[in-house]
Amino acid sequence: MRQKELKLVVTFHTTADAMAMEKACKNAAVPGRLIPVPRMISAGCGLAWCAGLENRAQIVGLMEQTGIEQEELHECMV
Amino acid sequence: MNLSDSKKKLALAGIVCGLVAVCLAIYGNPANMAFCIACFIRDMAGALGMHQAEVVQYARPEIIGLVLGAFIISFATKEYRSTGGSSPMIRFVLGMIIMIGSLVFLGCPLRMVLRMSAGDGNAWVALIGFILGVGTGAFALKKGFSLGRAYVTNKTGGMVLPALMVGVLLLSVFTSLLKSSESGPGSMHAPLILSLIGGLIFGAFAQKSRMCFAGGIRDVILMKNFDLLTVIVGLFAVMLVYNLVSGNFVLGFNTPGVIAHSEHLWNILGMYAVGFAAVLAGGCPLRQLILAGQGSSDSAVTVLGMFVGAALCHNFGLASSGTSLNPETKELVAGAVTTNGKIALVICIVVCFVIAFTNKRKEA
């Protein structure tokens, strides 16, 4: 079983924003993956973007550049 | 208690919900319909006089309990959040589509799983349609489908549906205003207090585990994540054991008394519409009730759409009939999908495609 690690988790207002983030990250070769929003963050059932903490600046920059609006940035065990 | 930090706990949530369904079946709910969101909303719509099908009218306390269970647990654990404003009228239509698809198939995704656990081949056939429907919805999500974001609203906004449910409960206990079937599925029910407690428990566990039949398959398709599906597997396992032990497991297609039909194409298309519409609306019928309980006015509107959809199904002859035994001749009478139901279902699927591919995320 995969060990849980402290990760950067970006939540969004809509599932479409999360899907757009996946596309933008793929195009810009920014590492990360889509995950269900961790239960400790929300009772909702949307999608979130999960990446290493070291990618924070890159991810924030990419969201500014592409106009993808985050709901919140979290650091949590995933 | 965090129910979602391991697959074992998620499966446990499914098992608890399965046990609730078992208890309700033992104490009087219709066989093979221990807990069906679509059927129970249809019964409630009948109790409120929204349709006149005399055999399916009863204010199901399970539905009231689900909403209140989610409301109470979310409030107690500070997860209640009043939100709204994400294309409410489109969600209303999606609620209607979910109900029409369900009543052509004869059950929501929850009942489909319960029927599968009892050996009903028709439910296994319908599962194909449900997976394809969820897959189509997931494809639309990948293509940028969005109904827009929800906004935080006045705290009381999200309390309206729970309050309405309390109102229906009070009417059913203290007055004779609501209609109640004297025969047929609507007349078969567990005692009110047991149904209510069952609904509360189911609602609380479903809220904590985020149980969702459409979401479970959506997450597998989009992320290869099996967490939500684990809850469903737990529920299925309990019901399978119960059906095997109690002798209710009957493998076959034309089983009388199950309230099902064997028109395979329409079973597939019925659940296709449900799966498709559920992904677009952000959750299966059960999940819509839970989200409404934890404060989403958007989901509450979807629930209202389901009520109206149920009424239309019986007022316009869209609901299918189940296979049964003729009590006099003892001959098998095959259940059937009505012509009106077929036409309505095709329209519903077309509408799903229109909604899915005309509502796009706004690019910055």
Q: Does B9 touch chain A (CB under 8 A)?
A: no
In this predicted structure, the answer to whether residue B54 has a pLDDT above a threshold of 90 is yes
Closest C-alpha among B219, B139, B221, B223 to residue A34: B223
User: Could you tell me the CA-to-CA distances from B183 to B48, B189, B248 in Å, in that order?
Assistant: 17, 11, 22
Question: At which residue do the structure tokens 């296979």 appear?
Answer: B323
Closest C-alpha among B311, B312, B333 to residue B323: B333
pLDDT digits (tens, 9 = 90+) for B3-20: 667 888 899 999 999 999
Q: How far apart are CA B64 and CA B40, in angstroms?
A: 10
Global pTM value: 0.95
In this predicted structure, the answer to whether residue B364 has a pLDDT above a threshold of 70 is no
Distance of CA B173 to the CA centre of its chain: 24
By CA distance, what is A66's nearest residue in B?
B364
User: Residue B89 has what pLDDT?
Assistant: 98
pLDDT digits (tens, 9 = 90+) for A29-42: 999 999 999 998 98
| φ, ψ dihedrals at B309, nearest 5° | -60, -40
Tokens of residue A77, six digits:
């065990």
pLDDT digits (tens, 9 = 90+) for B152-170: 999 999 999 999 999 999 9
Which of the 8 DSSP states describes residue A69?
P
Question: At which residue do the structure tokens 């007055």 appear?
Answer: B175
Closest C-alpha among A45, A61, A49 to residue A7: A49
User: Residue B325 has what pLDDT?
Assistant: 79
Closest C-alpha among A21, A27, A23 to residue A59: A21
User: Residue A1 has what pLDDT?
Assistant: 65
User: Residue B323 has what pLDDT?
Assistant: 82
Which of the 8 DSSP states describes residue A43?
S
Instruction: Find which of B141, B208, B217 to mutate to test the A interface (most A CBs within 10 Å of its CB).
Output: B141
pLDDT digits (tens, 9 = 90+) for B208-250: 999 999 999 999 999 999 999 999 999 999 999 999 998 889 8
Q: Does A37 touch chain B (CB under 8 A)?
A: no
CB B110 within 8 A of CB B285: yes
Q: Does A26 touch chain B (CB under 8 A)?
A: no
How many residues would you count in chain B? 364
User: Residue B1 has what pLDDT?
Assistant: 60
> Chains A, B: CB contacts under 8 A, how many?
64
User: Residue A78 has what pLDDT?
Assistant: 86
CB B181 within 8 A of CB B41: no
Which parts of A1-78 fold into alpha helices (H)?
A: 15-27, 56-66
The three-state secondary structure class of A25 is helix
Task: Please indicate whether, in this complex, the C-beta atoms of B223 and A68 are within 8 angstroms of each other.
Answer: no
In this predicted structure, the answer to whether residue B2 has a pLDDT above a threshold of 80 is no
In this predicted structure, the answer to whether residue B147 has a pLDDT above a threshold of 80 is yes
Task: Please indicate whether, in this complex, the C-beta atoms of B210 and A33 are within 8 angstroms of each other.
Answer: no
In this predicted structure, the answer to whether residue B363 has a pLDDT above a threshold of 80 is no
Tokens of residue B256, six digits:
């009388």
Q: Does A3 touch chain B (CB under 8 A)?
A: no
Write down the ipTM of this complex. 0.92
All residues of chain A having their beta carbon less than 8 Å from the beta carbon of residue B219 are 36
User: Residue A45 has what pLDDT?
Assistant: 85
| Confidence grade of residue B327 (pLDDT, cut at 50, 70, 90) | confident
Question: At which residue do the structure tokens 């793929």 appear?
Answer: A26
Please tell me which residue, A2 or B302, carries the higher pLDDT value.
B302
User: Residue B32 has what pLDDT?
Assistant: 72
> Rounded to a whole number, what is the distance in Å from the CA of A53 to chain B's nearest CA?
21
**% of chain B exceeding 70 in pLDDT:** 98
Mean pLDDT of all residues in B55-74: 97
> Rounded to a whole number, what is the distance in Å from the CA of B265 to chain A's nearest CA?
31
Mean pLDDT for all residues in chain B: 94
Please tell me which residue, B2 or B62, carries the higher pLDDT value.
B62
Please tell me which residue, A64 or B363, carries the higher pLDDT value.
A64
Three-state SS annotation for chain B: CCCCCCHHHHHHHHHHHHHHHHHHHHCCCCCCCCCCHHHHHHHHHHHCCCCCCCCCCCCCHHHHHHHHHHHHHHHHCCCCCCEECCCHHHHHHHHHHHHHHHHHHCCCHHHHHHHHHCCEHHHHHHHHHHHHHHHHHHHHHHCCECCCCCEECCHHHHHHHHHHHHHHHHHHHHCCCCCCCCCCHHHCCCCHHHHHHHHHHHHHHHHHHCCCHHHHHHHHHHHCCCHHHHHHHHHHHHHHHHHHHHCCCCCECCCCCCCCCCCHHHHHHHHHHHHHHHHHHCCCHHHHHHHHHCCEHHHHHHHHHHHHHHHHHHHCCCCCCCCEECCCCCCEECCCCCHHHHHHHHHHHHHHHHHHHHCECCCC
Task: Please indicate whether, in this complex, the C-beta atoms of A35 and B223 are within 8 angstroms of each other.
Answer: yes
pLDDT digits (tens, 9 = 90+) for B257-309: 778 899 999 999 999 999 999 999 999 999 999 999 999 999 999 999 999 99
Please tell me which residue, B164 or B253, carries the higher pLDDT value.
B164
Q: Which domains does chain A have, with CATH numbers?
A: 6-77 (3.30.70.260)
> How many Å is the maximal CA-CA distance in chain B?
68
Q: How far apart are CA B87 and CA B75, in angstroms?
A: 25
Mean pLDDT of all residues in B314-330: 88
| Confidence grade of residue B91 (pLDDT, cut at 50, 70, 90) | very high
pLDDT digits (tens, 9 = 90+) for B168-183: 999 999 999 999 999 9
